[in-house]
Structure 1
Amino acid sequence: MALFGSLDTMPLPEILGLLSGKEGALELWNLKGVPPTTLYLRPGFVRAVVQGRKPLDREAAKAALKELLLAEGGSFEFHPGARPKGGEDLALPIERLLLSFTTLQDELAHYRPYLPHPEARFTLAGPSPEEPRYKEFFRRALPYLKRGASAVELSQALHLPLDEARLYLYKLQGLGAVKRAEMEARPKDPGLLRRLLAHLRAAWSL
């Protein structure tokens, strides 16, 4: 089945749902903030994700798929029957991928007004949560949270969409696993009060 067009008229989640039972290569390009990517599919699964002619490992592939699902604009073309040249079959379930994406979108829509500022810094406050999604994020973010990190820093380091990193930090804070880092106190200027009082006296004497 030949399939091509714009992601503005047919979003990627819809395309993956349509192709979930097919085998072939789905090429994606001109997406905002995402390099050209090829997804190799087999019935029910994403078997490989290739960017810059380089197959991505499992973690990088999952991160790339999230970015692709959230990206704006772009074009696509599906080549039936195409297979990757060697490499590991990632066997990422398409149905689970789409369900995870839908859940993330629903959570972001609900919690967006409460999400922390992208530059707000967080540090460790407690043990890892038991919820698998947050537990995996906590494990990957642990080295950065030990010294304090913001959603921006974690998004870049862990290859996650920024709002997803903000959501995870919000959830982890609610679970007591992280806390807001205290603002560093600015050095006090002992002469500041004297200068302020002198300025007020001068103003009053006018």
Structure 2
Amino acid sequence: MLLLDALSPAPRTLRMFLLEKRLSLPTRQIDVFSGENRQAAFLKHNVAGQTPALLLDDGSCIAEAIAIMEYLEELHPQPPLIGATAQERALTRQWQRRVELNITEFIHNAYHYAEGLARFRDRIPVAPEAACGLKAVAQDRIAWLDAMLDGHEYLAGERFTIADIWLYVWLDFAELVGQPIDHSLRNIGPWFARIAARPSAGASLHPSCKPGGVRG
């Protein structure tokens, strides 16, 4: 296997997962800021032009961070970060989908259309006029999620899962791209601090991260 990694939030979620799993993979860095992921050498592996991507020994490629996590969890089920039973796995996926569809996709696209506009305007369709609205939706849905977390140590209850990894990394990214969360929220604030205290949180930051720069 070969992991195609980058300084970006989605690859960071996978790095945090690997740290929690105590797994190490051969890795090659992709410079997404220069657009290396949009060049032919990368596209021959992942036609979507996105990181991370996992090249398998048979020459095939698995892309999308969550799909890669699912694959690796099947190969290395301990410690379980998706779940040890069908019910646990379903609940983890439920929470991960809630945060991705309702929160992190809005954060992601708002960044593309605002703070990241100069980088992305020539790569993808952008809608700068939508940025403020997307940021507002994300903040509203964070408050919506907060209200559902009474009594929860982690998103899926007492289990730390990939849902926590996914949300934490994107909220940490959001802090420095004009989308800070309201740390006074009664559940999200303490939850965020709890995840940030895990050794994997700091260790998953890309070596090229600079103070005040994009966190990924």
TM-score norm. by structure 1 comes to 0.25
Larger radius of gyration: 1
Higher strand fraction (1 or 2): 1
- Which one has the bigger helix percentage? 2
Higher RCO structure (Cα 8 Å, ≥6 apart): 2
